[in-house]
Structure 1
């Protein structure tokens, strides 16, 4: 994906500068062309020679000294024209302020000002600095002007505090970079993804639910978004996923109502939500108290509607995907679901298998279609499962 791409890596003067070495190494492993630009302050944390060794190019540190070839008399313009993607990692409050206010007083700020290619900024600093209104204003200005800002992580900071301001982990940084070069193969498609387990109230404080974390559905929505789709995520779990239309639900009835509203306009429905099969027939207005004279408490349940079957029965040309989370007889149960639900595809997994159940970041799926041999995929991350599924869909 990154092979042959010209990526300019701007390193500014924060303690996280040493982590940028791993970013450069990862970019080189993907056969991209990497040019590192360092501010004067960044050179106090890591030497240019270290970056030059990894990137296999001289590091640009000065606006007036030719460092990459004999004809680089205007290095900031040549660099700007060369760049396919400019990333600032780490981005200090200083470089963020310069970018937002058009200040060009060194090679980094001058080159960024001249660059028309997409820009990706990874702020990393002390929590109090990050939350300063001036820094927040500058970040908001950059985002409003088509600069993508990746939010810092929360954790242990260099000065011993714990808070928001850490540079994200390498895999998140690389995912953010790769997103710029993903071909928008789903552009123009309206896709609904449901995620998380429904919660059926017993009383104001208790409910009937399941162990679904929503991670698989969120991964499906994330990858579809990255491929250019117009995504609506209907979910019972909180998520920071951006760039999608979110509809929050709790119960099966709320999920059904949302799908009735959204499904007619959709091209694809990915029904990853784990819907409770039953709900209490009545819901207590107040918290139910224990009776010291009764050791058994009975709740009468009634069936929830079969949402997948009901919605799929109304499809015109929509592509409908169901999920089968099983603990035994995986293929038999998934095959029955495929034949009874009017779905185009069933993605089945054995949630009793290590690494493929609820609450983990990996999954092992089997894809079933009518008149096709089931296709079992190896254990992989849920994001990779989503990528594999959307590749499959695009071949249909």
Structure 2
């Protein structure tokens, strides 16, 4: 897929810049041509010589290079590639992109390009979670910038959390998806997946048995068809797919906020098993046994994400797909749910224990639309996802 493709790779400053060397190697293995650009900060972590040797190309570093600028080299660079990739992108560079600043070669290229842009954030967890960074992330996504990562894990600074740059092969998968010529190319799709955990106290929570396998498979299938996928996932048992923007959440309210931040999208697939209720006042200390008897938990209703998005007056996705996991009267309950929520489709399945579907590898679903119910045979969850993704592509192309 990447043979003869031209990638303009901007390497930002940060310890994760070392991964860009492996990224270049992986891209060239697949036949891509890589033109590297180094920011001044990046040169503190990787050398121009090592980058040039791996890319087999000149490394561009300065905006005011008289030889290159005699022919407006920065304009040519910004428009001659099939895709602009920034890996790693720092909080500073994200801020420049959001504000439209162009005071060095990297930021000028990003301002001057009419080529799709994919960025791989890498920064301290507190920097990633800072409100300014999250505002910038939301604005860049709205501007059409694609994201891959960041991942969650140990930081070079000793902290743990989201902020690690995606691994080179994950970025390669995202590049392949961005350059794909599939039927969903140019479409942005939101997928929610996994369970939510609603805290009772710092060590206990309310949850459900969802593994997140079906939602993950759907996100992967949509990305394979060329879609830009925003994957909002609760604490699932399965790892998220490569080549998508991953947003990790815990509770229903966190998922609701993440969905808002991901909009607008062309389609929304709400496969997450969101808890209907939460403890109204979760304790900030572990609840202890007492001679006074069992603790009494008061519940509050969680936000209804599917209903809210389905009934949006402005900015509603062209296609909203919900899921209905039922244990009895599946068709009747799911049909009523579609009407009650206001979504376009419902993917219904029987998750009673005898089916082995909840947490299993297979699924047997019925697709319910305004035109009726279509029962699909039992098949692997990847096959269900592929069939659903292709139906979504046909509808959006419609």
> How would you bin the TM-score normalised by the shorter chain?
0.5 to 0.7
Aligned to 1:276: 352
Q: Which residues in structure 2 correspond to 1:284-299 (within 5 Å)?
A: none
Residue 247 of structure 1 is aligned with which of 314, 322, 347? 322
Count matched residues. Answer: 293
Q: Give how far 1:49 is off.
A: 1.2
Please state whether the residue corresponding to 2:88 is helix, strand or coil.
Answer: strand
Residue 171 of structure 1 is aligned with which of 161, 169, 172? 169
Runs of 5+ in structure 1 lacking a partner?
198-204, 280-306, 324-346, 349-362, 364-381
Aligned to 1:356: none
Verify the 8 A CA contact 1:224 1:231 in the aligned structure 2. no
Verify the 8 A CA contact 2:13 2:42 in the aligned structure 1. yes
Hey, what's the Cα distance between the residues in 2 that align with 1:123 and 1:83?
21
Hey, what's the Cα distance between the residues in 2 that align with 1:2 and 1:92?
26
Q: Which shows bigger deviation, 16-25 or 57-66?
A: 57-66
Aligned to 1:158: 156
Normalising to structure 1: TM-score of the pair? 0.60
Aligned to 2:376: 321
Q: 1:224 to 1:135 in 2, by over 3 A?
A: closer
Please state whether the residue corresponding to 1:176 is helix, strand or coil.
Answer: helix
Normalising to structure 2: TM-score of the pair? 0.59
Per-residue CA deviations over 1:258-287 (Å, capped at 9, x if unaligned) read: 356659x989x977x5621569xxxxxxxx
2:29 matches 1:29: yes
Verify the 8 A CA contact 2:23 2:169 in the aligned structure 1. no
Hey, what's the Cα distance between the residues in 2 that align with 1:133 and 1:45?
27
Q: Which residues in structure 2 correspond to 1:339-358 (within 5 Å)?
A: 347=379
Q: Give how far 1:126 is off.
A: 0.9
Verify the 8 A CA contact 1:187 1:230 in the aligned structure 2. no
2:17 matches 1:17: yes
**RMSD over equivalenced CA pairs, Å:** 4.6
Q: 1:255 to 1:53 in 2, by over 3 A?
A: farther
Q: 1:36 to 1:255 in 2, by over 3 A?
A: farther
Q: Which shows bigger deviation, 247-256 or 76-85?
A: 247-256
Q: Give how far 1:40 is off.
A: 0.7
Q: Give how far 1:176 is off.
A: 1.8
Please state whether the residue corresponding to 1:100 is helix, strand or coil.
Answer: helix
Q: Give how far 1:313 is off.
A: 11
Greater RCO structure (CA 8 Å; 6+ sep)? 2
Hey, what's the Cα distance between the residues in 1 that align with 2:145 and 2:29?
26
Hey, what's the Cα distance between the residues in 2 that align with 1:245 and 1:313?
12
2:269 matches 1:232: yes
Aligned to 2:130: 132
Q: Which residues in structure 2 correspond to 1:76-115 (within 5 Å)?
A: 76-115=74-113
Please state whether the residue corresponding to 2:135 is helix, strand or coil.
Answer: helix
Q: Give how far 1:220 is off.
A: 3.1
Verify the 8 A CA contact 1:9 1:36 in the aligned structure 2. yes
Runs of 5+ in structure 2 lacking a partner?
196-203, 228-265, 276-316, 356-362, 394-398
Per-residue CA deviations over 1:183-202 (Å, capped at 9, x if unaligned) read: 2326899x9x99889xxxxx
